[in-house]
Structure 1
């Protein structure tokens, strides 16, 4: 039986990918609570959907099968029992303090008959004005009384269109991630539902390299598959060192082709956020990089060693490190914005370094990053440019918005 997850490359021809089309969750963003949801601005939903549809169509035109997170999740809700099980998990993490309120919310969602509508609504969150709220006298917890003016019973999940982060596919396995921010931790419920209960994955008994209830955080934007022997993981704002040590041993134990993990310490600034916002692979020997991280970048090697792991700091240039681990005579680092610091800062903020390879030497990029895109073209990289003026407001690019399931080796 063909395995539904086959990821041994960052640049192998993309065959199957999962996306999430932005939905009402974006319209539930409010200026006073942007920090809570990790947004700096509010995207215009209708335009964001047009841009996302263009992105999906670009992939389809390149013979990529596009699956949607919301469809896969809905396809697992095949019975009342399945709906109840999912909703109980969902409500366990919804931070509803009052027992009677939880029952009201549970009944509200159970009354939605169409599984896809149900999934969409759980992603959008639940406003207080969507239910008949019992009078204030019935609110007994201090939390409920203090937060009475807050408009949501359940928060929206506006970051969901960045499907790269809640989990990562590595080899034939899945890293079900522990997210950095509480507002994003609930996103992994959908991946958990899909990989445990969707026939496409459940029948193949998906192997998990990491679990959403682990105690240390890791996110998919920090996990890159540079070859069938080499994984790169960022030490960043969203991924901590302890998580890398945990997953390294699991990868070596259950995915035998991988022999080395390179841990890139990119710092904890929000403008960098994930490794793939400052470093992506675009061809067998070409990489995008944000010039601001080059000077102080520390790289650590984790390798298989006598049934355990061996860890040491690499003391060399990034080019030489990549050449050695990828067995290449030379590599090219294509700098976001080139040598212009102003362009580099602006285009990195607009995810100029966040490319999605759909084949060796062919990538999807935002059209707005003119300087970086021209440098990629000059390096012989074929570009598929997509609009992203609204999508980029969530601080993510084409790689962030895609979760590959199958790539050719």
Structure 2
């Protein structure tokens, strides 16, 4: 492995992962702001940090190198110097609603007074109006009303590092995310890839950058093996974006098949990995709520084709049969969340019972609160490493959501 990114499966032994320790941003908002920031509750920060540290330590105990978004971002700024710092800050302010004007100038002066690390942490945490001795006359962003407490909104979803980018093969997608609350997040990933010494000028291919109007998020991107991707058609990822990244992969990599899987477009099932994950060579978790009668679900097998689109699509509805075909397997073990019980399945799926992080074939990290699903995984022969989850789960994301694999061993 000579590339700093090497990720050809969902299940190869995990070697390096990107995390974000929850910071001030996860409780730096009011109940009225929760819908805007895509949260259902306000986590208790000290416990959320304790839980996340336990999660990270579990990964390190199993031989995984843990990199942190906030640290890499500051190191990228250090490497890029004053020109990059100014460029990054201008873009962040513009995407926050302040491309110019007196408020832009006041915010830039305030943030520019900080070290690179402190500035990154402050941008992530959000900038409240009472932090700056300034009375604006030109508010142009979401903070237009006088009683709104922030100039720059906090980014509480940052600890879900899976979504702003996805490492595929020896490249990456840097994603245009769906909702304004999360769209600034991938600015950090873009800067790291372009300027951090670990990644810059290392031949990393960007399969799709963030400069698009159509949406895609990493929770929908599953790397099934070294030539097959599965991508959810979901609330957060559009069919157009899937076709776009498929064309890029087919043209520039060894990937030849993308399996598009349609899931309900709602907050409970926001990404494919909230209802479906790969846990072994021939084993998957699946929330039974996404399957129709007889286990049916709309899927499209996308391969290279002729014509204007450059793609060929085959529609099918038998998920198990499709997986067997594209992965060349004799059988597939679909393990139902909550054992298939309609009450337990819905409860544990809401608490990320389907959102497993596989760190080696048949070895998964899960939330301890999903005890029915966890016991079923063990009965199916899997090794389950449970992490504590009372506060982290309030953000509607589990161990897979909280991790962006950068390097995995080949199978």
> For residues 127-172 of structure 1, what are the alpha-carbon distances to aligned partners after superposition, in whole Å with 9 as ceiling and x for unaligned?
00000022xxx61568799511100000000000000001111111
The TM-score with structure 1 as length reference comes to 0.96
C-alpha contact (below 8 Å) 1:282/1:363 kept by paired residues:
yes
The TM-score with structure 2 as length reference comes to 0.95
Please give the alpha-carbon distance, in whole angstroms, between the structure 1 residues aligned to 2:45 and 2:406: 27
> For residues 309-366 of structure 1, what are the alpha-carbon distances to aligned partners after superposition, in whole Å with 9 as ceiling and x for unaligned?
2112024x21111111111111100000113111000000000000000000000000
After TM superposition, the structure 1 = structure 2 runs for residues 77-88 of structure 1, keeping only pairs within 5 Å, are 77-78=77-78, 79-88=81-90
Change (3 A) 1:27 1:145: closer
CA offset at residue 199 of structure 1?
1.1
Q: Describe the SS at the equivalent of 2:405.
A: strand
C-alpha contact (below 8 Å) 1:166/1:187 kept by paired residues:
yes
What is the aligned partner in structure 1 of residue 265 from structure 2?
A: 268
**Residues 1:157 and 2:130 are matched in the alignment:** no
After TM superposition, the structure 1 = structure 2 runs for residues 1-400 of structure 1, keeping only pairs within 5 Å, are 2-78=2-78, 79-96=81-98, 99-113=101-115, 115-134=116-135, 139-140=137-138, 146-256=144-254, 258-295=255-292, 296-305=296-305, 308-315=310-317, 317-400=318-401
Structure 2 gaps, min length 5: none
> For residues 276-322 of structure 1, what are the alpha-carbon distances to aligned partners after superposition, in whole Å with 9 as ceiling and x for unaligned?
0000000001000000111151010101236932112024x211111
Change (3 A) 1:143 1:328: closer
Q: Describe the SS at the equivalent of 2:191.
A: helix
CA offset at residue 85 of structure 1?
1.6
Structure 1 gaps, min length 5: none
Change (3 A) 1:360 1:153: same
Please give the alpha-carbon distance, in whole angstroms, between the structure 1 residues aligned to 2:394 and 2:52: 13
C-alpha contact (below 8 Å) 2:176/2:214 kept by paired residues:
yes
CA offset at residue 83 of structure 1?
1.6
C-alpha contact (below 8 Å) 1:303/1:311 kept by paired residues:
yes
> For residues 55-75 of structure 1, what are the alpha-carbon distances to aligned partners after superposition, in whole Å with 9 as ceiling and x for unaligned?
000000000000000111000
> For residues 23-60 of structure 1, what are the alpha-carbon distances to aligned partners after superposition, in whole Å with 9 as ceiling and x for unaligned?
01012121011000000000000000000000000000
Number of aligned positions between the proteins: 403
